[in-house]
Homo-oligomer: A and B are copies of this chain.
Amino acid sequence: MDRSVDQPLQDFLSGYHPGDYPAVAYATDVVLLAVRDGEFKVLLARRNDHPDKARWALPGGFVGPSETALDAARRVLQEKTGLAAFPGHLEQLCTYSAPDRDPRMRVVSTAHIGIMYQPPEPRVGGGVDEAAYVSIRDIENDSSEEYRLAFDHARILADAVERIRSKIEYSATALEFLPQPFTIPELRRVYEAIWGVSLHKSDFKRKIVNSAHLVDRAGRLSTDPNPAELYVRGKSIQLQPPISRPVVSRSSRSD
């Protein structure tokens, strides 16, 4: 336990001496998730410089001196999507602090999960030549090196995906993937895309509609063949009792 700059608890609690603490670069990485074309996808940008040149990476950036990490994540999303204000859900995922996670210098990064409905085509430029929404399943089942992400971003993405797959079991998070109003079958397809399974229609509807104050009815105005009833979010952010995720969680649907 002999560390060169091993700053014990007491220094933090009883006073500090400017310069005694190790400084780090503080950044954020953003996992923007969406269901596009019936598939669970993530926004990636291809690196065009070393290290990990030409690999796919999560969008990210440094946190400014007057920003919180959440502010910085929101700004990164605005820049990448081109939207004036990021309209979706944004939450903190986890902080990655391995000293060697970036070979250039010490960068501590607080990753965030963003969720929005139908994000526009990503912006390129400013040093990024290629950005795209990539299928999560393609990344998970990647046997080539095509989708081996830069830095520790594979780990970050896996953590984000698992967080969301778990969270939609017991919360209203899945509604973030849809516009308002939405139909129950649309919501079911969100679950099916995220979990990679197919769900029974009637059981699914019963669970959603019976969960207290999760969704409220909002008429029936769709122009579909057989128009489904419309719903909007209710005041509850919990799905109780939870909807249980089938055991298989990847590559088990229509392939």
A residues touching B (Cβ–Cβ < 8 Å)?
1, 3-16, 18, 21-27, 45, 47-49, 57, 59-70, 75-76, 79-80, 92, 94-95, 97-99, 104-106, 108, 110, 126-128, 170, 240-242, 244
Contacts and interface: CB of A to CB of B under 8 A. Distances in A.
A45 to B, nearest CB: 6
A61 B177 CA distance: 39
A67 B14 CA distance: 22
Nearest to A3: B64
Given A24-B26, A26-B97, A127 B15 contact: yes
B98 A68 contact: yes
A6 to B, nearest CB: 5
A90 to B, nearest CB: 14
A69 B92 CA distance: 16
A21 B62 contact: yes
18 contacts: A3-B67, A4-B64, A4-B66, A5-B64, A5-B65, A8-B75, A9-B80, A11-B127, A18-B105, A24-B25, A26-B97, A26-B108, A65-B99, A66-B99, A67-B99, A68-B99, A92-B94, A95-B95
Contact of A12 (B10, B24, B27): B27
A13 B60 contact: yes
A96 to B, nearest CB: 9
